[in-house]
Each structure stands twice: as structure tokens, then as C-alpha cells.
Structure 1
Amino acid sequence: MLLKRLEGGELRFGEGRISGYIAVTLALLSLLGVCAFHFPEYLTTPELRAAYDANVLRTVMFVSLIISGSLGLLNFVRNTNKRAGLLAWALIVIAIALGGHRVEVGDIPTDTPYIGLDWFILDLLGSTLIFIFIEKIIPHRKQAILRPEWQTDLHHFFVNHLIVGFVLLVANQFVSGAFGWAVERGSQELIQDINWYVQLFLVLLVADLVQYALHRVYHEVPFFWRFHAIHHSAKTMDWLAGSRQHIGELIATRCFVLAPIFVLGFDKSVLDAYIIIVGFQAVLNHTNAQINFGWLKYIIVTPQFHHWHHSSDKAAIDRNYAAHFAFIDYLFGTAIKGQKEWPQDYGVVGDYVPEGWLKQQVFPLTNKK
């Protein structure tokens, strides 16, 4: 509700609105960081705990609070609508009251259930800094940062990141239970002896072939399409639109994509690189960015290639399924050929999917289209 009360539309320098939004974002992330410091065993991911220095994070949080407070004050002075500045200062006061950057962290248990609050904070900061910059420097089409539907997509982004621990737990239980019998240590050692870069290509290829098959099922089987239609319901494409995904589809995709990866047993460092590439490419392919990939567009999935998959144009329906390698669609005859331009319209034909995160979670169970 707070998000809906903030102004929408194009942001212009000098109005005080940009400072207000940055202030609110930094204040909110700082408050979430304070919560993570208080309950790290439940609010942080075990893999990330070993990768960052708590003292560095304290410094970052302290600087963020100062910047947020300064920008909130600027918004309060420059903008006739002072809600953003007031909200930022309210969040700052709460964060400081809870201990701010001085919260001490002791020994952290490693066997507790958790949600990825730290992953959400880092990913949101990284995504906004990188992809909003790209979209503003080389936009495909002129559109506001806070375009229509952004609140719904931000809710999806928030929830999907917070439940990352739960999703991985479900996926690991499913894969080990259903495919544990297929694991053969000798075969896995052979895979791990392969050149690192070849392993990385293979894990991306295997994952994409599985995802391609799943993607076709999502489109061509009516029951599964009701879930996948949520992802396609975005009528404006940008870096945030890729987060729009039903929880059921998110879990199912993770389970089946991880299955062959688990059985084949790729090196852990290869899997770490794969996760980074998947995350980056998933966001990049939805961006509103005019990037010329040249002949590579026939090899890898690009924003233009994936934008056609989201188009509601008749020629684009059930095409361009691949997530990493465009040549898979060309091999199976599902690629859109000869499209030198970008699509004009996005979304599901008929525009029958409701807006709002909760409505979209319920939609597949109540709608029969």
C-alpha cells in the first residue's frame, strides 16, 4: 500500500522525486539489513554469510543511512508531495532504534530454516544500479522507470527472493528423493575431470534443454499455461518484469532443471558460475535495452529474442522458448525468423490475467482459460 501512495510516472531531475525514491529504497534496505543482523540464522543464506565481511556491511549500512537521510531531507524541501521524504525518515528512525549498523552478530547456527533477505538486498541493489543504468543509456523504447504494473513486479521480486531458501530446500528434497538412484560416482568424476569451461557450457546446455521442454509444456498444456500466463501478463518489459512468476512454476522449474545437474555432478565452482549467469541473463533478457549482439543473436538468447517470446503478436505465440541458447529454438523449429525489429505489444492475448501479486497466485486455481 505504501508503494501505491508514492507518485508514479516519468522521473525528472530537479523535482525532488528521484531523491525521495532513492531515500526510501536505501532506508528500507538498511532497515532490512538491521533485521538480518538481529536474526542472521533465519534471514540470511548460508552460502552468502561466508562471502561477505560484516564490518564492511556495517560501513555500507552507515553510509546508506546518511545518504538516505540527506536525500529524504532534500525531497522534503524540493517536492510539494513530501510523503517519500517522510517515509524515508520514518524507516531511518526505526532502523536506528533497532540498533542500526552497531548490531553485534555472534555465532550463527547453520541448520536453521531461512529466507534470503540478504540475497534480496544485494540483488535489488545490483539490479537497480546495473540495469536501470543500461535501460537509460540505450533504451529500446522510452518509458518511465516506474512504469505501469511496477508495484506488482516488485512484489514478485520481493517474495521470490525471500523464499529462495525454501525453494532450494524443496528442490533438493525432490531431486535427491526422485533421482538419487541415478547418481553414479564414477560418472560424476568423469564429468568433473572435463575442462572447466566445457563443463560450464555443458551445464548451461543441459539446463536449457530441460527448461526448453518445460517451457513448451507450460505453453501447450492448458493447465500449466494458467500458471505460466502470470509471467506473460506483463504488458511493459524491463529488468523487473522477469520477476513476475507464479510460485508454483518457480518451484517446479527449479526442481526439474536441477535434476540432471544433480545426477551429472558438475564441479561446484562450475555450478556457482552457472547460478551467476542464470541470474544475470534472466534479468538482461527482459530489459528495455537496445543492445546489438550481431551474429551472436543466433547463438545466445538476447533481449530482442526474448521480447518476441513475450509479444502478443500472432506470429510470436509459442515461439522463442530457450533461456540461454537461441540455437535450440532454431534446431527445433520454434524460433521466430526474419524479425529484424522489436515487437510492439506485450502480454497475454485478451489481457485476462488480473494485476496484484496475491490475485495472480490465486488466478491459476480459479481460472479455466
Structure 2
Amino acid sequence: MRRLLLSWAFLGIAVSLGIWSTIALDYDQNKVVLYYLFPYFALATALQYLWPEQSNEFAPGEIWTDILNNIGLLMVTAFQGVVVHWMAEGGHGLLFQWGWVSMSFSAHNLPMWAQVLVAWLVFDFMFYVTHRIAHEVDFFWRFHSVHHSANRLSFLNASRVHPVDIIWRRLVPLFVAYQTGVSANAMIMANTIGAVLAVITHLNVDFRFGVLNYVFGSNEVHRWHHSNKIEEAKNFSVVMIWDHLFGTFVYKPQGQERPEKMGLFNELYYPQHNFWGQLLIPFAWKRWKARQAAAQQDAVATEPAFVDTLPAQRAQTDKGNQLAV
């Protein structure tokens, strides 16, 4: 019970401070990142060592792979900032600007809290769609597989992503959400809340959220998304409403806290802890799959032949029974 209350308190305080800091900093996204999110990231990292859910030991090459991925993500985020600025200035509500939809339907007419809610629901729905596509369409999985190459959840490997994967899976939901006509301030607030929740999703911290696991993708729920069993690797959204609606929610609170193994469905020859190899693997996908197939064929060829001795054993037994009679 104590762990549950502490987990809920952390979540509530983190989200509340995110909302307050966004308002106090006058919806300046750069200041929100610098003065709130960076300290929040530092606290999250410290919690992984103070209250770990799994061992924090790194495999050879793992830590440098994750550090380089974090640096790369900062560069990608800077690029995305330019695109998002364009969306905020002139690329939002295009259907209303072009006169295809009446302005009376624009979310811009709603109060701020309602705009944030609209922005979040639309963004998370599109995040669900793009995330599911990244898993179920082979071309997109080539890039998204990089994120699933880690064998455990950690704040550090939350940024283990291929640039192509993260760019399209971020920008498409943002672009669609902006088309509802929400203000830039509403989108910034939604982004802040999303960033806070996304950190918790990947933390290697022994949180217990209880019934809240059915509401948002906590680290307890997100572990199942990283299962190496395809039937368990679900939970595609941040708020679980879409997974419940489309039948992709997976959570096993009784008897099994995490999947038997997290990671790729087949790791053979994958550059699991090699940053440059991960950047190139989507473009060498067929070669990698061919190498896997060849290795598996060799393994089958070298296995000892199976001889079914059961019929002979049965015949010998029957003969013995006849002699006994």
C-alpha cells in the first residue's frame, strides 16, 4: 500500500508541476524543457538507482549506444522544433483556413482545458495508429526495431530510437492534432504532460500504480509492450483508452509482473548495442534476414537425426507378453 501511495504521489506531483511550470513560464516550450523537464529527467535517473525494479548493470557497449542515441535524439528534436514552429504559425487548422470546414467547428473556440484535452486525445490516437503501424508493417518495423533492441526498460534507453522512426511517429500525430484548430499554447501544455508520462513509461523504478495501470501506460504496463513474444507486445498508446477500444491492451497483474523476456523477437546478428549498426540496419534489412535464415538452416542441418524407436519398443513388449502367455 505504501508503494502504491508513493507511486501515485510521484505521478500526481510530476504532472501538476508540469502544468504549473508551463503556465508560470508563459507557455515558452524552451524554458519548460530547460527549467522543468531537464531537472525532472535528472530526478528520474536518480530514482532508477535509489529504487530499481531490475538490475542497472549494462551489457558491453550498451551504455555508449544509449548515450549516443540520446545525443542523436536532441539533434532530431531540434529539427522537429523548426517543423512544429511552422505548424504553430501557419500549418495548423488548414481545413479551416482553406474554408473546407466551418470555423464554428474549430477547437480554438473552446476553453483552454478543453483544447488541451482535444489536443491530447487526437495526438494520442494518432500516436496509437503510427505506433501500431510501426509494429505491423515490415518497412516501418525495420526502423522501430531499434527501440525494441533493449532487453529491459530504462530512462536512458527510452531514447534508443532511429531518427526516421521518431520523426514520422512524432510529426504525424502533431500535425493531425494541430488540424483541430487548437492553439499553440494548448499543444505546448499537452506536450508537457505527454513528456512527463512518457518518462514514467520507461523508468526502471519499482512503481506500483494499481488501477491506474488500466488508464495510462505506466512502466508496469509498458514492459509488456517490450515483450519478445509478438502476442504480448501490445499497449501502443500513452493513455490506454485506444488499446482498450481496439483490443490491444495487455497487462497481467496476477502472478507475473513482467514478460519472461524483453527485446526483439529474433536478436540473432542484430546490432543490439552498436549505435552505428542500428542506424544502418534498416537499410541492410534483407541482408540481415538472409544471414539469420542461413544460420537457422545450418543449425537444423547439424542437428542429430531423430530416430523413432517407439514402434520397435512396442513390438518387443508385445513379443514379451506373448511369450509370457
* Preserved contact between residue 204 and residue 274 of structure 1 (Cα < 8 Å): yes
Q: Which amino acid aligns with 2:235?
A: N
Q: How does 1:1-369 map to 2 (within 5 A)?
A: 51=31, 126-128=40-42, 130-144=43-57, 149-170=62-83, 181-184=94-97, 187=103, 190-317=106-233, 319-322=234-237, 324-340=238-254, 341-351=257-267, 352-354=269-271, 355-368=273-286, 369=289
* d(CA) in 1 for partners of 2:48, 2:215: 23
* Preserved contact between residue 172 and residue 255 of structure 1 (Cα < 8 Å): no
Q: For residue 181 of structure 1, report the CA deviation from its aligned partner.
A: 4.5
Q: 1:120 to 1:331 in 2, by over 3 A?
A: same
* d(CA) in 2 for partners of 1:300, 1:164: 24
What is the SS of the residue equivalent to 1:367? helix
Q: 1:268 to 1:182 in 2, by over 3 A?
A: same
TM-score of the two chains, using structure 2 as the length reference: 0.68
Q: For residue 189 of structure 1, report the CA deviation from its aligned partner.
A: 7.9
* d(CA) in 2 for partners of 1:350, 1:305: 22
Q: Which amino acid aligns with 1:299?
A: V
What is the SS of the residue equivalent to 2:217? coil
Q: Which amino acid aligns with 2:270?
A: V
Q: Which amino acid aligns with 1:165?
A: A
Q: Which has the higher contact order (CA 8 A, sep 6+)?
A: 2
Please report the RMSD computed on the Cα atoms of aligned residues, expressed in angstroms: 3.1
Q: 1:180 to 1:172 in 2, by over 3 A?
A: farther
Q: Aligned residue pairs: how many?
A: 253
* d(CA) in 2 for partners of 1:224, 1:177: 29
* d(CA) in 1 for partners of 2:215, 2:29: 32
Q: Which amino acid aligns with 1:156?
A: N
Q: What percent identity do the matched residue pairs reach?
A: 26
Deviation per residue, 1:110-167 (Å, 9 max, x gap) = xxxxxxxxx6898555412x112322343222324x5651211111111111332222
Q: For residue 240 of structure 1, report the CA deviation from its aligned partner.
A: 1.0
What is the SS of the residue equivalent to 2:222? helix
What is the SS of the residue equivalent to 1:198? helix
* Preserved contact between residue 93 and residue 180 of structure 2 (Cα < 8 Å): no
Q: Which amino acid aligns with 1:348?
A: L
* Preserved contact between residue 301 and residue 326 of structure 1 (Cα < 8 Å): yes
TM-score of the two chains, using structure 1 as the length reference: 0.61
* d(CA) in 2 for partners of 1:171, 1:48: 11
What is the SS of the residue equivalent to 2:132? helix
**Which structure 1 segments of 5+ residues have no match?**
1-46, 53-118
**Which structure 2 segments of 5+ residues have no match?**
1-27, 290-325
Q: For residue 218 of structure 1, report the CA deviation from its aligned partner.
A: 0.7
* d(CA) in 2 for partners of 1:205, 1:197: 12
Deviation per residue, 1:261-320 (Å, 9 max, x gap) = 221121232222112122222222111112222211111111111111011135413x11
Q: For residue 229 of structure 1, report the CA deviation from its aligned partner.
A: 0.2
* d(CA) in 2 for partners of 1:178, 1:193: 18
